Structure 1
Amino acid sequence: MSFAEIMQAKGIEAGLSFTDRQLEQFTAYYELLVETNKVMNLTAITEPEDVAVKHMIDSLLAFEPQAFEGKTLADVGTGAGFPGIPLKIYCPSLKVTLIDSLAKRLKFLQTVIDRLELKGIRCVHLRAEDAGRDPQHREKYALVTARAVARLSVLAEYCLPLVKVGGSFIALKGSKYQEEIAVGGKALSILGGKLVSAEAVKLPGLDDGRAIVKIAKIKTTPKAYPRKAGLPDKQPLE
């Protein structure tokens, strides 16, 4: 099966449907990812079905039409572009900012953006802590996403300062999400967030305990946060 056929079949299993253009874009993204991964460490997952399910479909499970369409989204610690680029492909009206601290990853992502002819998406070379203090980014986004970056108490300090009041921080989490929520309550409270939901999600053919954790931004983040680079991880708000 071609990558497009795999995406289509696995998408149907996950309740998603794609246009021919979207399947072309997912395929081009996959090909660039695998080719670039030979010279740069982007992902340990390279088999077509694994990339389709564990990267592409996994990213799209965060999507909600009313919450995403036409909104601004920052993807923190985007890495190889997940979930930001799959969400942009699936929802073209989304205005996406990909934030990462590694310039060579962003060069790869810019190549993907250009090759896929995506509009309304940009790359920003900043650490999350610096982005959260930058007036161009602080409390400027309706949505902020993060996937496999850090545990929730740390992630909240990276992401909530970027969310505008009334917006949402959406964390794509693994099997320990309930434990992370249990110790992350203090961080959410300090940073202006409130847990809305933690929805278990199932990927086609897998049952590994993934979840989408949604946090509402209910008040402005205090000026002291995020703390300087490195501190959120070394001294989490727990």
Structure 2
Amino acid sequence: MFKGEDKLLMEGCKILGININEFQVEVFIRYMEILLEKNKRINITSITDRNNFIIKHFLDSLTCLAACDFQGRIRVMDVGTGGGFPGLPIKILRPHIELTLLDSAKKRIDFLKDLLVELRIGGVRLIHGRAEEYGRNKDYRESYDVVVSRAVAPLKVLAEYCLPFLKKGGIFIAQKARDAVSELEEGKRALEVLGGLKEKEIRLNLPFTGDERNIIVIKKTKPTPDRYPRKPGVPMKRPL
């Protein structure tokens, strides 16, 4: 018999058209419990209500499945992952992906390291650093099939963080809370310069709250010029 939180997660996934089994539900609930306990000591999330956590972290992360099925041993990078969102929820449902979680805060990466051990999840690489630095590293540059990000930055900035990691033909999935039309318009030049092209925009609402979500899918159509990404801090200060 499922508890209320279990039911909320299962029903939310059903609304989103996502299959989830009992074992995966248990992993998600344990994930939430561990994060909220750690959150009492270090700031990872401002969302501490358990139902809101399930909706605004787990179900929100899983809306990425509307843009990509994440099947097979594809390489996925999550830029600015924070508490592991959206990359780790995707990994729980798609265990075969090879996932890299990147964040600039060491305390969050340290937390994720302990979390992965506790949840017994393998096949995840953790990186403490800046996207601008690792995007120029030959071991990571243009080597991923999918890059995802819920980072709070305009698309023209996120594009410079994320597109350098993608292989030609790969996709960048940017999750946005509000209407993305203006960001797409402002980001046209950045996408053109960095080798990206808008493939589609998906609009949906989160289960139970009805909060609007916009998922922008950018396809990598050509290599990113060697000069990008620029030095740390420059993309935000002087967006393309």
Instruction: Report the TM range for the smaller structure's normalisation.
Output: over 0.9
Match of 1:32 among 16, 31, 34: 34
* Structure 2 residue matching 1:221: 3-state secondary structure: coil
TM-score using structure 2 length: 0.95
SS at the partner of 2:64?
A: coil
Retained in 2: the 8 A contact 1:157–1:226?
yes
Give the distance between the partners of 2:26 and 2:69, measured in 1 at CA: 25
| Paired position in structure 1 for 2:167 | 164
Question: In the alignment, does 2:108 pair up with 1:116?
Answer: no
Aligned counterpart in structure 1 of residue 202 of structure 2, from 199, 204, 208 = 199
**Aligned twin of 1:86:** 89
The aligned residue for residue 50 of structure 1 is 52
Question: How much has 1:144 moved relative to structure 2?
Answer: 0.3
How large is the RMSD of aligned CA atoms in angstroms? Answer: 1.4
CA separation of 1:206 and 1:140: change in aligned 2, threshold 3 A: same
1:62-141, aligned counterparts within 5 Å?
62-63=64-65, 67-70=69-72, 71-141=74-144
Corresponding position of 1:60? 62
Please tell me the residue identity of whatever aligns with 1:49: N
- Compared CA separation, residues 236 and 127, structure 1 to 2 (3 A): same
How far 1:116 moved relative to its partner?
1.1
Cα distance in structure 1, aligned partners of 2:58 and 2:79 = 17
- Counterpart secondary structure, 2:65: coil
The answer as to whether partners of 2:202 and 2:214 remain within 8 angstroms in 1 is yes
Residue identity in the other structure for 1:178: V
Task: Identify the residue that residue 23 of structure 1 maps to in structure 2.
Answer: 25
Structure 1 length-normalised TM = 0.96
Q: Distance in 2 between the 1:207 and 1:214 partners?
A: 21
Structure 2 unmatched runs, 5+: none
SS in 1 for 2:108: helix
Question: 1:100 Cα shift?
Answer: 0.6
Tell me the SS of whatever aligns to 2:187: helix
Number of residue pairs matched by the alignment: 237
Please list every run of 5 or more consecutive structure 1 residues that lacks an aligned counterpart in the other structure.
none
Query: Structure 2 matches for 1:189-228, cutoff 5 A?
Result: 189-228=192-231
- More deviation, 39-48/5-14: 5-14
Identity %, equivalent residues: 43
Distance 2:227 2:169 in 1: 20
State whether residues 34 and 115 of structure 2, in contact with CA within 8 Å, keep that contact through their aligned partners in structure 1: yes
Equivalents in 2 of 1:62, 1:81: separation in Å? 14
In the alignment, the residues of structure 2 paired with residue 215 and residue 3 of structure 1 have an alpha-carbon distance, to the nearest angstrom, of 34
Q: Write the mapping of 1:4-19 to structure 2, written as runs, cut at 5 A.
A: 4-19=6-21
Q: What CA distance in whole angstroms lies between the structure 2 residues aligned with 1:153 and 1:205?
A: 31
One-letter code of the match for 1:109? L
